[in-house]
Structure 1
Amino acid sequence: MIGLDLFSGPGGMTIGFKRAGIIPLACVEHRRDAVVTYSGHTPAAEHFCTDIRRLSFTRYAGKIDVVYGGPPCQPFSTGGLRRATADTRNMFPEFARVLREVRPEAFVAENVQGLTTRNSIGYLASLIAEFEAMGYNVSWRVLHAADYGVSQKRRRLFIVGFRRGNFRFPKPTHGPTTGKAYVASGSLISHDPIGEPPECPVVFARFPDPRKSPYAGHVYNGGGRPIDLKAPCHTILAAAGGYKTHWIDTLNVAVAYNRHLLEGGEPWVGEVPGARRMTVEESAIIQTFPREMRFFGSRSSQYTQVGDAVPPDLAEVVARAVVSQLNGHAVSDDTHCPADAAPPLFVAA
């Protein structure tokens, strides 16, 4: 099958889609570093390093089976300003325009879970209505990457449209309902760094806000958190590279300090001993990029590319379901959400 990759970044979706048999004819991405990274693993695709609004896609009409991509998520991210449609970075209108121009058999759009929250759910409903008006049967679901073998607590919205039939989402392969444990981050990374960690100290917060788990709450300055190596990692952030980079607790300070705080102890001061930040390479491994893959650009750009991407292993699971069902193979799956049985159009923030 032939694909068209929009807002491609370094190609996390394409790596997974290629494994499933969807080969991109072209990709569009305005960040040059990400295009260079992408061309390293998919050189045969036509690469457009430009603003998607400058392009016409009518040349691909009748040539594309699946259009896929993740329109910029900042307008709907719970970690941003959440300006939604008022944000000029909202590229869903461009995604819809491409569908009208190309008329593929199916599409897959990925975005943040924030699009399903109270402030944005009306826009999601309008998007679904627009896609349906184009002749697509639309299914959507928030998928947890850890449920599909990715060692990361990453929840993302997937919207899938088929011209014929309704898409059925694949069942989880890992987690408490499957009999197969989540993949522990410690099976992939360890106290010993892979690559060069950023020189950015972890500092005890002046006014900590602990939780029951020592790996949650706001206990340290910045957005980076300690990683429980016995469980999936926190979501890898596109803003990593500095104080928002998660860190490995080589001296096991986090557990003792969290207990100290919960028992009423005074906050500690200074740098956390034994704390080291995750490297670009480790972040990419947690995201399930191939270990041999090279990211281009500054280190900040590399962290952004990794954090913005769809985990290739998760993309592959979705793409294999798309290919199988487009080829007419029935799927027995109780997680299906056709139009008449969709999840409630609200998820608490």
Structure 2
Amino acid sequence: MEFTSIDLFCGAGGLSIGLERAGFQSVMGLDTNRDALATYARNLPHAKAEEKSVVGYDFRQWRGVDVVAGGPPCQPFSNGGKRLAAEDRRDMLPHFAHAVNEIMPRAFIMENVAGLLASRNREYLNQVLAQFDDRYTIIGPHLVNAADYGVPQKRLRIVLIGILKGSIAFPAPTHCEKNYVAARSVIRSGEVQGVPNGSKVVYARNPDLRQSPYAGQLFNGGGRAIDLSKPAPTILAAAGGNKTHFIDEMDLVPGYHHHLKSGGKPREGTLDGGRRLTVKESALLQTFAADMVFEGSKSSQYTQVGNAVPPRLAEVIGASVAAALH
């Protein structure tokens, strides 16, 4: 039996693609970002792509759909933003709850940033949870690391699941530190996949040292060297320039880290062999398929990739929901 799903704030479709891998039929994606919606429409041509806001949208037309899924904009709660929560006009959590209540699907899935669980947001989160129809049994919010579910990337997010009838167990992790999927499973040193990124890797004037050569900030921007033997750092929506993680083609980063820890002075100029991730490589680390095509400018494509729910994570969650609905 195939279940149907709609995706609010669908972006490039990571959540929908994952749900389809779990056996759901995507019937509609809703978003206000034209480039992201074009990507969604290209890769999920059987689903209706609507360039509209959830605000004022009549969701009653989607009554009968099995699952409502969505990742409302994370900026109001992200640690990297102003953290205005309900005071941020981009806060769409109440609108997601309204859509669920208007459609009354058999289940719903909501994804967001870990910052939503911060103490400063807990009271507001509880207020939002109280807005869902009380006939739903709500599981979570659970803090998950995408690497625990087979994604070659460390990515902390919260996931909330609601079910109208019956019960559901949150999916147990499929991986742990001993068997994490390494970044080298999809990207490799010496092999550029996709259009090269020309952004240089420049030594930081005041490096922030940590225990690992692959943590802290040894270079300008938020981009870090990737240890290919482990999951990559979180792919950022602000990638494209110096916030794009990079491959250390000449394996110079560990030596430079040791140099700094030994009291050496910061170097100047660019790192030899430092190569920024391409859009395609970033997408592969998010578990999009190799033939996935992103629309829009290069900057827009990086943003779409960084904003997406990893399809692999969505697939595991979707499989748990599907099992509960049977």
Q: Give yes or no for TM over 0.5.
A: yes
Q: Contact (CA 8 Å) 1:14, 1:24: kept in 2 or not?
A: yes
The answer (yes or no) to whether the contact 2:282–2:305 under 8 Å persists in 1 is: yes
Please report the RMSD computed on the Cα atoms of aligned residues, expressed in angstroms.
Answer: 1.2
Is residue 171 from structure 1 mapped to residue 187 from structure 2 by the alignment? Answer: no
Per the alignment, residue 232 of structure 1 pairs with 231
Of the three residues 181, 184, 201, the one matched with 1:186 is 184
Tell me which residue corresponds to 1:271.
270
CA distance in 1 between counterparts of 2:252 and 2:82 reads 33
> Within 2, Cα distance between the matches of 1:54 and 1:48?
14
Pairs within 5 Å for 1:291-330 = 291-327=290-326
Measured against aligned partners, the alpha-carbon deviations of 1:91-148 in whole angstroms (never above 9, x if no partner) come to 11110110121111110000000001121122222222222x4321111111111111
Instruction: Find the aligned partners of 1:187 and 1:261 in 2 and give their Cα distance.
Output: 30
The reply on whether 1:223 has 2:222 as its aligned counterpart is: yes
Superposed displacement of residue 293, structure 1: 1.1
Partner amino acid for 1:14? S
Q: Is 1:138 the counterpart of 2:135 in the alignment?
A: no
Are the counterparts in 2 of residues 20 and 320 from structure 1 also a CA contact under 8 Å?
yes
Within-5 A mapping of 1:186-205: 186-191=184-189, 192-205=191-204
Aligned length: 322
2:136 and 2:164 in contact (8 A); partners too: yes
CA drift of 1:4 comes to: 1.5
For 1:213, give the aligned amino acid: S
The aligned residue for residue 15 of structure 1 is 17
Q: How does 1:73-152 map to 2 (within 5 A)?
A: 73-131=74-132, 133-140=133-140, 141-152=142-153
Superposed displacement of residue 199, structure 1: 1.4
Where does residue 339 of structure 1 map in the other structure?
Answer: none
The unaligned stretches of length 5 or more in structure 1 are: 328-349
Deviation at 1:186, TM superposition (A): 1.2
**CA deviation after TM superposition for structure 1 residue 322, in Å:** 0.3
SS of residue paired to 1:48: strand
TM-score by length of 1: 0.90
For residue 80 of structure 1, report the CA deviation from its aligned partner: 1.2
Name the aligned partner's letter for residue 235 of structure 2. Answer: I
- Whether contact under 8 Å (1:10, 1:305) holds in the other structure is yes
TM-score, normalised to structure 2's length?
0.96
For the residue of structure 2 that corresponds to 1:52, the secondary structure is coil
Deviation (angstroms), 1:166: 3.6
Asked if the contact 1:100/1:134 (under 8 Å) is kept, the reply is no
| Alpha-carbon distance in 2 for matches of 1:217, 1:78 | 16
Q: Deviations over 1:282-321 (max 9, x none)?
A: 0011101011111111001110111100011110000000
Is the Cα contact below 8 Å between 2:225 and 2:245 reproduced in 1?
yes
How many angstroms does 1:171 deviate by?
1.3
Moved more, 271-280 or 166-175: 166-175
Q: Which amino acid aligns with 1:28?
A: L
Query: Relative to structure 2, which stretch is displaced further, 6-15 or 30-39?
Result: 30-39
**Contact 1:139–1:166 (Cα < 8 Å) also in 2:** no
Paired residue for 1:345?
Answer: none
Larger deviation, residues 293-302 vs 261-270: 261-270
Map of 1:243 onto structure 2: 242
Indicate the SS of the match to 2:29: strand
d(CA) in 2 for partners of 1:204 and 1:165?
A: 55
Deviations 1:53-84 (A, max 9, x none): 142111122x1111001000011111111111
Segments of structure 2 that go 5 or more residues without pairing to the other structure are none
Question: What amino acid does structure 1 have at the position aligned with 2:135?
Answer: G
Worse-superposed segment, 94-103 or 166-175: 166-175
Residue 58 in structure 1 maps to residue 60 in structure 2: yes
Letter of the 2:5 counterpart: G
Number of the residue aligned with 1:343: none
1:211 aligns with 2:197: no
Note if 1:3 corresponds to 2:5. Answer: yes
Distance, in Å, in 2 between the alignment partners of 1:291 and 1:196 is 13
